[in-house]
Amino acid sequence: MTLVAPVAGERLLGRTLRRARDWAPAAVVLVLSLALWQGLVAALEIERFLLPRPTQILKAFWEQRDTLWSAGLFTFREALGGFAIGCTAAILAALVLARWRRLGGALMPYAIAANAVPIIAFAPITNQWFGLLNPLSKMVIAAILCFFPVLVNTLRGLTSVRPSSIELMRSYAAGELEIFRRVRIPNSLPYVFSALKVASVLAMIGAVVGEFFGGSQEALGVQIRSATALFQFETAWAAILVASLLGIAFYLVIALVERLTMGWHPSTRTAD
């Protein structure tokens, strides 16, 4: 009982070509905007501290690739740690709140309010709590950033189940636990994954911004700040490029896991 039927070679080829055709417009836009950027910066003689040319950024990226990547990975580890802590805590909390709805009803307004708080403003405070150089100070801010959207979405996924599908389970003599296992949790997966994708972005933001307020010299956020202070704007931009690439990769990995675990879902399937 496989979810995805084996695909014949020629269908795979057709699919790849179709994919390429789908992506072509986006690639064209990327190349054109980079060219436009390069051209405008040169034509308008924009100072490099305002906006370096893409070629200068790429040059800086290439020359300092080793330090930049190791800084990137340092920061990414913090983001990943925060993501893991925050999302795990949020999913567990959502399970508890969905099981004991009274508790959920009492706490949810605060969770929704907390979701609207600019939590990143607490970064200097977590730096104080855990120590500037301790990666945990960045993980905690990333974790808190991830926590609320994942909590709110997971809870919605666990509870937005049609009453008739619960009644059906009860008619099979299912208890509360079995209803969770067989209906609520599978029903929540699309919600959980869309929250995890948001959280992956938030975790990177949390880690980098946390580092702006101080941290190890190895960290990407710290390097962006010191490069700017030393007028090495190309380096700062190259570091931002690294942060972006890591953020996008993180997002894509989650999207891939989503696709693999939810092959059944209409949204992850093409019409064939």
Partner 1 sequence: MSGAAAVSIRRVSKTFAAGDVVALQEIDLDIRPREFVSLIGPSGCGKSTLLRIVGDLIRPSSGEIVVNGKSAHEARLDRDYGIVFQDAVLYDWRTVARNIALPLEMAGWDRARRAERVREMLELVELTGFESRHPWQLSGGMQQRVAIARALSFSPALLLMDEPFGALDEMTRERLNAELLRIWRETGCTVLFVTHSIAEAVFLSTRVVVMSPRPGRIAEIVEIDLAQPRTGDTREDPRFFELVTEVREALHGGSDRGSPRLRVAE
CA nearest to 143, candidates 235, 208, 80: 80
Helices (H), 64-184: 65-99, 101-115, 123-130, 135-159, 163-171, 176-179
Q: Which stretch binds partner 1 (CB under 8 A): 10-18, 63-71, 169-177, 210-218?
A: 169-177
Q: Are 258 and 267 in contact (CB under 8 A)?
A: no
Q: Does 229 bind partner 1 (CB under 8 A)?
A: no
Tokens representing residue 260 in the block = 């693999």
**Cα gap 242→50, rounded to integer Å:** 19
> φ, ψ for residue 75 (rounded to 5)?
-70, -40
Residue 3 or 92: which CB sits closer to partner 1? 3
Q: Which stretch binds partner 1 (CB under 8 A): 19-27, 60-68, 135-143, 173-181?
A: 173-181
**From the CB of 159, what's the least distance to partner 1, in Å?**
16
**From the CB of 191, what's the least distance to partner 1, in Å?**
13
Q: Which stretch binds partner 1 (CB under 8 A): 30-38, 67-75, 107-115, 160-168?
A: 160-168
Enumerate residues 248-267 that contact partner 1 by CB under 8 A: 262, 264-266
**From the CB of 188, what's the least distance to partner 1, in Å?**
11
Tokens representing residue 254 in the block = 């989650």
Size of the site for partner 1 (CB under 8 A): 24
CA nearest to 81, candidates 125, 135, 158, 40: 135
Q: Does 164 bind partner 1 (CB under 8 A)?
A: yes
- Give the burial class of 249: count Cβ atoms within 10 A of its Cβ; 0-12 exposed, 13-18 middle, 19 or more buried: exposed
Enumerate residues 174-213 that contact partner 1 by CB under 8 A: 174, 178, 182-183, 186-187, 189
Question: Which residues lie near partner 1 (CB under 8 A)?
Answer: 1-3, 5, 162, 164-165, 167-168, 170-174, 178, 182-183, 186-187, 189, 262, 264-266
